[in-house]
Amino acid sequence: MDTNLSDHVAQVVREAIRDELRERTTKQRRTALLYTGSGAAGLYAGAALTAFLVLALAAFLPGWAAGLIVGIVLAVVAVWLKSAARQEGSPSAAVYPPEVPPLPPHAPETDIRN
């Protein structure tokens, strides 16, 4: 009797956890799709704005010069944003693992850093 009851309880708990995980992953999948769509729309909006700026400058300058000016401005903005991001946080902290603190003087002689 106890074995049957514990098996039944374990099965009910597994099904409840499975349903909860399925519900959470469905919500996360929807959120990820919305973020992806937002990013794609933003990318196309930026491309359309860039084309607009090139065409607006091309009314006063040759087309190649207008494209060159807009490209240089966008490159300067990209470099500026990259430097601002570096000032926010050290890129080495994200790439390399944190340093291992030194062992206290009373620590055993084994080397755990390997």
Averaged over 44-66, what is the pLDDT? Answer: 92
Domain presence at residue 97: no
Taking alpha carbons only, the member of 69, 72, 52 closest to residue 61 is 69
Domain presence at residue 73: yes
Averaged over 36-65, what is the pLDDT? Answer: 91
- For residue 6, the model assigns a pLDDT of 80
Output the CA torsion 18→21→26→30 (10° steps): -170
Domain presence at residue 44: yes
What are the phi and psi torsion angles at 15 (to 5°)?
Answer: -65, -40
Number of domains in the chain: 1
What pTM does this model have?
Answer: 0.51
Domain presence at residue 111: no
State the residue range of the domain holding 43. Answer: 2-89
Q: Judge whether residue 54 has pLDDT over 90.
A: yes
Q: Judge whether residue 37 has pLDDT over 70.
A: yes
Averaged over 36-40, what is the pLDDT? Answer: 89
One-letter identity of residue 97? P
Rounded CA Rg of the chain: 28
Domain presence at residue 26: yes
